[in-house]
Chains A and B, each alone.
Chain A
Amino acid sequence: MNTETRSSSPGPLEQAIHAKLTTLLQPTSIKVTNDSWQHRHHAAMREAGNSNKETHFSVDVVSNAFEKKSTLQRHRMIHSALSEEFATGLHALSLKTKTEAEAMAAAATATATPPTTCPNA
């Protein structure tokens, strides 16, 4: 993602998301990205005066706490841990939730398979 050049230092909400999910999931890896700037033209964000710079986030987390849980259950775990944040301004949260084994399998597939092209191209 190219947001690293844009966000100088993580804001309080980003820090809270990182801290709470680290406590909850004891992750192998966790990446929290603030995507709020991409949504500043949305009606809902304009209505709020664009004063809140922390509304949209993506989280990419690898944790064995997800073992034997469906994606729906994994997302619910995270939503529940962040209920306060959702109640006070967090607007959207895009989640990638993998176990260590799934992350390794995904990385292996990514390197093994050549990039696919559209057959109609």
Chain B
Amino acid sequence: MFRTSLFSSVRVLSRAAPSSLVSSRLTAYRFLSTETRSKLEQAVKANPVVLFMKGTPAEPQCGFSRAVVQILDMHGVPSEKMQTYNVLADPELRSGIKEFSEWPTVPQVYVNGEFVGGCDILIGMHQSGELETLLENNGVIPKIEVSPEAEQSSPVNDKVAA
């Protein structure tokens, strides 16, 4: 897996470098140092949910990061099962995580060491129900057993609410 990701980093580098003007953003495509890569490998596996974001959950610095925090919160992801990293506080992390994940933007979400996606993907998975299933299957949130009675009673609830 890491062999593949290194290989495609080389491709990105060779394509981006010659044609573009010198830019600080090119640092996003430099080679990850072995040390940074192994730190990130450990970091994404250290907690069931790992979120790389701009700012903190209490004070997100970007609307996309805020949306992801809110979605995870809505699903009741407990704080002890989630670790967030503020990429704005660490320039090496900010450029490193983009290359590590081969994903050009922040926020980024990992579940049990697997890259899930950024804001659009999280919103899409939230709407389709996939996110709940993923979090349940990974033991992040408890499975909710839906009993037949509960399903039958839901139309009544709708009526009451309406």
The residues of A with any CB-CB pair to B shorter than 8 Å are: 42-43, 71-72, 75-76, 79-80, 83-84, 86-96, 119-120
Contact = CB atoms under 8 A, between A and B. Distances in A.
Contact of B104 (A42, A86, A94, A119): A86
23 contacts: A71-B117, A71-B120, A71-B121, A71-B124, A71-B125, A72-B115, A72-B121, A75-B117, A75-B120, A76-B102, A79-B103, A84-B19, A86-B25, A86-B28, A86-B105, A87-B26, A88-B21, A88-B23, A89-B23, A90-B104, A94-B64, A119-B161, A119-B162
Interface string B90-130: 00000000000011110000000001111111001100000
B11 to A, nearest CB: 8
Shortest 10 CB-CB distances between A and B: which pairs? A119-B161, A86-B104, A87-B16, A88-B20, A83-B12, A95-B120, A87-B20, A79-B104, A71-B121, A87-B25
Contacts, number: 65
A87 B29 contact: yes
B10 interface: no
Given A71-B125, A86-B25, A87-B23, 17 more contacts: A42-B61, A71-B124, A72-B115, A72-B117, A72-B121, A75-B120, A76-B103, A84-B19, A86-B105, A87-B26, A88-B23, A88-B25, A89-B23, A94-B64, A94-B119, A94-B120, A119-B158
B64 A75 contact: no
A89 B20 CA distance: 11
A96 B19 CA distance: 28
Contacts of A83: 12, 15-16, 29, 104
Contacts of A120: 161
A79 B116 CA distance: 15
B134 interface: no
Contacts of B119: 94
Interface in B43-95: 61-62, 64, 88
Nearest to B26: A87
B4 interface: no
Contacts of B29: 83, 87
Contacts of B147: none
A90 B29 CA distance: 14
A95 B16 CA distance: 22
A117 B162 CA distance: 9
Nearest to B106: A92
A62 to B, nearest CB: 15
A119 B157 contact: yes
A76 B5 CA distance: 13
